[in-house]
């Protein structure tokens, strides 16, 4: 991470609700703290990092609830590659100032370095929700690491979306291209490292196509994807990535054809079936979508999205009673998803269960209201 990030101002209202009032502190302690804090600031400004760290530590023993001091101590320790110490200091900063988005992101970056990937993803995303993404120096580092963590988790769609924001911002790097290619091809870094030159070239080309698409250079991206699909017609997830791009570009018929080719190449491909079912639902081709949704449920019976798509397609096909069964299962699997309850209200109505329909519609309205303004982007449930 660039050291310029460490010069960022601490983003937040530096509230310290547990701090003692001025009247409760002995005047001598105040004077000692003020001297130590001023010397720490001078040392930090002069880039005397070791001295600044010791002075911040001294000041913090005198005033443990000094949130800004914990922030500066954490960033200085990060610069020294003391990620465990930095994480501890930044954890104190976030405890004292929970709305400080930058501190949450820096904490997540420390945890990334320490291999605590679940915590890192949670805290980077918390910082992003609190507005840390508005900092131009921090944004690329934050988004890139969030993308890597999502890749490691196997959440390829969100990784692709997050990394695509960097492309849209004009970032140009081979690391970004590689990460985008991995997300598009649903491939982990470990698989890339174990693969040979052909896989690396495939990932690079897929990443280049996604990079262009994220920059809204759709004509160039289409050309890249067409060549990729022609050169690697049987490679895993190439047709799927091509189909996803075509859907975003509103080439529905070509997209479905590419996704069907992916299923021919990989008969157990669940995401391709989900995309086809969702596309058929949107196009109101209920009969055409049903086989793909039914297969998706067979492959992953506890996936709420699969049950939702099957239930919605059954409703469209006039099979309300069967639709109710699928959508009730979806609601049990994902009770806080408004779209499921809306679809269930329609299925109940079709099945003649009007009281249940009203209840489901009320649940839908309540969940929608609760989620207004919240970060609840869950495209795959």
pLDDT tens-digit series, residues 225-279? 999 999 999 999 999 999 999 999 999 999 999 999 999 999 999 999 999 999 9
Write down the pLDDT at residue 254.
97
Write down the pLDDT at residue 13.
32
Work out the pLDDT band at 380, boundaries 50, 70, 90.
low
Question: How far apart are the C-alpha atoms of 97 and 94, rounded to whole Å?
Answer: 5
Condensed to tens digits (0 to 9), the pLDDT of residues 18-71 reads 333 334 555 666 888 999 899 999 999 999 999 999 999 999 999 999 999 999
Question: How far apart are the C-alpha atoms of 19 and 95, rounded to whole Å?
Answer: 12
Domain annotation for the chain: domains and CATH numbers: 1-153 (1.25.40.10), 278-371 (1.25.40.10)
Write down the pLDDT at residue 18.
35
Which ranges constitute the DSSP H helices of the chain?
A: 27-45, 49-62, 67-79, 83-96, 101-113, 117-129, 139-153, 156-168, 174-184, 189-194, 197-214, 218-231, 238-248, 252-265, 270-282, 286-299, 304-316, 320-333, 338-350, 354-371
Query: How high does pLDDT run on average in the chain?
Result: 91
Work out the pLDDT band at 376, boundaries 50, 70, 90.
very low
**Span 201-220, average pLDDT:** 97
Asked if residues 72 and 56 have their Cβ atoms less than 8 Å apart, the reply is yes
| Tokens matching residue 41 | 């600031």
The CB density around residue 30, as the number of other CB atoms within 10 Å, is 13
Exposure string over 309-329, b if 16+ CB within 10 A, otherwise e: bbbbbbbbeebbebbbbbbbb
Asked if residues 320 and 312 have their Cβ atoms less than 8 Å apart, the reply is no
Question: How far apart are the C-alpha atoms of 356 and 258, rounded to whole Å?
Answer: 40
**Span 332-361, average pLDDT:** 97
Write down the pLDDT at residue 28.
66
- pTM recorded for the entire structure: 0.85
Question: How far apart are the C-alpha atoms of 100 and 92, rounded to whole Å?
Answer: 12
Condensed to tens digits (0 to 9), the pLDDT of residues 189-206 reads 999 999 999 999 999 999
| Angle of CA points 162, 276, 153, to nearest 5° | 35
Asked if residues 178 and 203 have their Cβ atoms less than 8 Å apart, the reply is yes
């Amino acid at each position: 991470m660039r050291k310029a990030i460490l010069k960022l101002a601490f983003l937040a209202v530096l509230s310290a609700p547990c701090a003692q009032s001025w009247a409760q502190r002995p005047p001598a302690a105040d004077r000692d703290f003020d001297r130590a804090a001023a010397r720490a600031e001078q040392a930090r400004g002069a880039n005397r990092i070791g001295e600044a760290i010791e002075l911040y530590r001294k000041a913090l023993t005198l005033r443990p609830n000094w949130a800004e001091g914990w922030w500066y101590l954490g960033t200085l320790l990060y610069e020294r590659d003391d990620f465990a110490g930095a994480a501890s200091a930044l954890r104190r900063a976030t405890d004292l100032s929970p709305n400080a988005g930058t501190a949450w992101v820096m904490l997540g970056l420390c945890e990334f370095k320490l291999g605590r990937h679940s915590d890192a993803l949670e805290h980077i995303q918390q910082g992003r929700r609190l507005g840390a993404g508005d900092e131009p120096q921090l944004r690329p580092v934050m988004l890139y690491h969030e993308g890597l963590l999502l890749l490691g988790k196997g959440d390829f769609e969100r990784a692709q979306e997050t990394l695509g924001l960097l492309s849209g911002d004009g970032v140009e790097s081979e690391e970004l291209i590689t990460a985008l290619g991995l997300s598009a091809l649903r491939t982990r870094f470990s698989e890339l490292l174990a693969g040979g030159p052909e896989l690396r070239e495939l990932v690079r080309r897929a990443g280049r196509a996604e990079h262009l698409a994220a920059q809204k250079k759709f004509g160039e991206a289409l050309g890249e994807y067409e060549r990729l699909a022609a050169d690697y017609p049987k490679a895993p997830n190439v047709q799927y990535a091509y189909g996803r791009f075509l859907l975003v570009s509103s080439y529905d018929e070509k997209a479905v054809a590419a996704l069907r080719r992916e299923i021919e190449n990989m008969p157990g491909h669940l995401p391709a079936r989900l995309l086809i079912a969702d596309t058929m639902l949107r196009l109101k081709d209920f009969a055409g979508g049903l086989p793909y949704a039914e297969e998706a449920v067979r492959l992953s019976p506890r996936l709420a999205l699969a049950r939702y798509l099957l239930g919605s397609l059954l409703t469209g096909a006039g099979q309300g009673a069967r639709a109710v069964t699928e959508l009730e299962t979806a609601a049990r699997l994902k009770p806080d998803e408004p779209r499921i309850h809306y679809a269930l209200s329609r299925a109940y109505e079709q099945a003649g269960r009007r009281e249940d329909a009203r209840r489901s519609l009320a649940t839908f309205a309540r969940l929608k209201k609760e989620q207004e303004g919240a970060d609840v982007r869950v495209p795959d449930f």
